[in-house]
A and B are shown apart, each in its own frame.
Chain A
Amino acid sequence: MSPATRHHILSVLVENKPGVLARVSGLFARRGFNIFSLAVAPTDDPTRSRITIVVDVESAPLEQITKQLDKLINVLQIDELAPIDAVERELMIVTVTVTAESKPELLSLTEEYSGVVLDEAGDRITVSLGGTPEALDAFTARMGAAVVAYQRTGRIALPRIV
């Protein structure tokens, strides 16, 4: 994400029906908005799903995309979550190469990030970490060239309890 643009988190409550995700993502594509990350799953109410979308746009086009999203019949509610008003988490699984020297460091770092080891063979270890997106960024940065592959879920978020 370039520093010139600000990321926005949209928490979109939708009907849990076939094709709804396609409607939402299709709208972004058609109106020329780039999705940075997207996470979707049913909520506590199984007839509803929550889509957490991170977009990197200026605020004026964000207003437009929000209004267009709101026109979709299956979209029930849209909340823009300013990072300060939201709790955010993201899950990452990452495979790194380790040596005899670096392995303890990795394990202690994993522990520091409340992660767990998922898999291990030869000189490779796969760990899972949950945290704020910034924390995950910091973890991969510290691993540097040792990272073989990683997969992140995209962030999920809820408004802070006020």
Chain B
Amino acid sequence: MKTNGGAALIKALELEGVDVIFGLPGGAILPVYDPIIDSPIRHILVRHEQGAGHMAEGYAHATGRPGVAMVTSGPAATNIVTPLADAYMDSVPMVVITGQVGTAGIGTDAFQEVDTVGITRSVTKHNELVTNAADIPRIVREAFHIATTGRPGPVLIDIPKDLVDPTNPNSALDWYWPDSVDLAGYQPRLDGDPALIKDAAQLIIAAERPVIYAGGGILKARAAESLLALAELLDIPVVTTLMARGAMPDDHPLCLGMPGMHGNYTAVTAMQESDLLIALGSRFDDRVTGKLDAFAANAKIIHVDIDPAELGKVRRPDVGITGDCRLVINELLTALKQIGAPEVQPDRSTWKSTISGWQEKYPLAYVQSEPGDLLKPQYVLEQLRDNTPDDCIVASGVGQHQMWTAQYWKFQHPYTWINSGGLGTMGFSVPAAIGAKVGRPDRMVWAVDGDGCFQMTAQELVTAAAERIPVKIAILNNAYLGMVRQWQEMFYEERYSEVYLSPDLPDYKMWAEAMGCVGMRVEAPEDVLPAIQRANEVDDRPVVIDFRTDAREKVFPMVPAGKSNSDIVVGPEDVR
């Protein structure tokens, strides 16, 4: 069948099961926007290309399916670099299609020309500049395969305009659809090496103070059930990193919660004092390890990751297993049972009571505000947590509000927590929440945002209002770039440099209303719950609540940057 590159691209996306594209048209991608009119694929018109990228990420986080964004060349391509980098850091499956100037114009500094594949090379799992229209079906097939298999990640396809323009002979091709993908240089290993599985099982069964260090790879591998089975078989406590919140239910007795720079005392200290860390889909990020040579110094390490480059990148494992977390955990379960688990383990009652002692002595805590004082952000989060469904999806931006949400929310299900972990992208939450709601319209979706973050991507609420995507945004408005303020207070002798934002400028309630949302402002504790309840009832447009919170509140516990995790600062009374 004779076709053209633009029609072939849309057809290929349909065959990949794409149900929604987040995008914004422009000159070079124009021909592709014509066949979209006749396609069953929903297109969501964003207000800024960065929004398209983060929406695609939010969609992918919430559904497990690859998010798709499509934008034009030049400035549109550079605007989507941040979401690509974000998705690359957090292993989010995403396919981004960018328009490019016509083949003859490439290299001439044509209008809206940038070297998109050059710019995005180091922030994509793979990218490809299409040079021949006949390659489009194959390249699309490969892009989705690469984005979704192995360690997931973003793939970018850059397509010159002449190859998709039906009036240009360069766009002609005979339609085909590859049966399979054949990439000689890409063969991810999924199952673990049986000998290494046996070694790992021996280490686990002999450990006296083991901790499972569960990372985002658990969620990517759909391995939450396997993780639970492993933890329960051996009665081993589990910490869930920022990227793994929800991988183990927070109310499970074996779940210790979040480790790291702002992790809780028990999660941080259990890792420090352990004699065996079972790292599953985690990558020893600096925000988790603190000062590296002081991190879990007496622990042996089992490290399971689908990306062999993660094994030994930061900490050399005693047993490093390349493979898919779900498969490897299941193989481990079999191996452990074969050698007599759970009966043959050492008595770990002392370790368990030590851990529960920490939990009792060092719970997360804050001091409630006095009447007339500004709200405590933690109080707002507790109210939000307790008055939304268990399976509510919560997205956050980056900063204090993100850490409080990760700490105070009780995640009971996987895929209910969406945030920017590795890159730390301010402005992530609004578009990510929109993408999540598009992917999971059956779920309630809240974004918890900071006032600084909100100002970076708020325009996407226009998109949400226009498309009737009823996300809900809780701004913890402390009138500051709060995390930076916290560091300046603690480490720069309270010399506050360029962190004040003002609580009233902009007027968030009016801004929300101007964007077609319901806007509210809450200043008193007794108004928090009614506002949340009112927001929960709105299902035809977005809602924004401007919670006025106390700027003096800091995120604790905290391991100061560069310090050992053993130097954890539990609360403000601990600050010296």
Which of these, A26, A60, A63, A74, contacts B122 with CB under 8 Å? A26
Q: Are B309 and A76 in contact (CB under 8 A)?
A: no
- With both beta carbons as reference points, the residue of chain B lying nearest to A30 in the complex is identified as B122
Q: Which of A15-23, A94-102, A121-129 lies on the face that meets chain B? A: A15-23
A116 to B118, CA, bound (A): 41
In the assembly, what is the distance between CA of A29 and CA of B313, in Å? 17
Chain A 87-127: CB-based contact to B (< 8 A → 1; otherwise 0): 00000000000000000000000000000000000000000
Interface residue from B118, B121, B129, B312 paired with A63 (Cβ < 8 Å): B312
In the complex the two chains form, is B129's CB within 8 Å of A19's CB? yes
Contact B185–A67 (Cβ < 8 Å): no
Asked whether any CB of chain B lies closer than 8 Å to the CB of A10, the reply is no
Contact-size category for B: 10 to 19
Nearest-Cβ distance from residue B193 to partner chain A, whole angstroms: 16
Cα of A72 to Cα of B313 in the assembled complex, Å = 17
Interface centre among A18, A64, A71 (most CB of B within 10 A): A71
Contact assessment for A73 and B313 in the assembled complex, using a CB-CB cutoff below 8 Å: no
**Neighbouring A residues of B118 by C-beta, 8 Å:** 19, 22
A75 at the interface (CB under 8 A from B): yes
CB distance from B316 to the nearest CB of A (A): 8
The reply to whether B183 and A73 form a contact with Cβ atoms under 8 Å apart is yes
Q: Tell me which residues across on chain A come within 8 A of B313, comparing CB atoms.
A: 64
C-alpha spacing A68/B126, complex, angstroms = 13
> Shortest distance in angstroms between B156's beta carbon and chain A's nearest beta carbon?
12
A26 contacts B185, C-beta separation under 8 Å: no
Q: How many residues of A contact B (CB 8 A)?
A: 21
| B-facing residues in A122-145 (Cβ within 8 Å) | none
The CA of A83 and the CA of B125, in the complex, are separated in Å by 32
B113 → A minimal CB distance (Å): 16
Whether A73 contacts B308 in the complex (CB less than 8 A), given A19-B117, A23-B121, comes out as no
Instruction: Tell me, yes or no, whether A80 is within 8 Å of chain B by CB.
Output: no
CB <8 Å contact, A67 and B309: yes
Q: Which residue of B lies closest to A23 (CB)?
A: B121
In the complex, what residues of B have CB within 8 A of residue A27's CB? Answer: 122
A76 proximity list for chain B (CB < 8 A): 184-185
Q: Tell me, in angstroms, the Cα distance from A14 to B236 when the chains sit together.
A: 44
Q: Does A74 lie within 8 Å of B185, measured CB to CB? A: yes
Q: How far is the CA of A76 from the CA of B185 in the complex (A)?
A: 4
A-B pairs with the 7 shortest C-beta distances?
Answer: A67-B309, A76-B185, A73-B126, A73-B186, A30-B122, A68-B309, A67-B308
Q: Could you list 20 further interchain pairs (A-B, Cβ under 8 angstroms) beyond the known A18-B129, A70-B309?
A: A14-B185, A15-B185, A18-B131, A19-B117, A19-B121, A19-B129, A22-B118, A22-B121, A26-B121, A30-B122, A63-B312, A64-B309, A67-B308, A70-B308, A71-B307, A72-B185, A73-B146, A73-B183, A75-B185, A76-B185
A interface list, Cβ under 8 A from B: 14-15, 18-19, 22-23, 26-27, 30, 60, 63-64, 67-68, 70-76
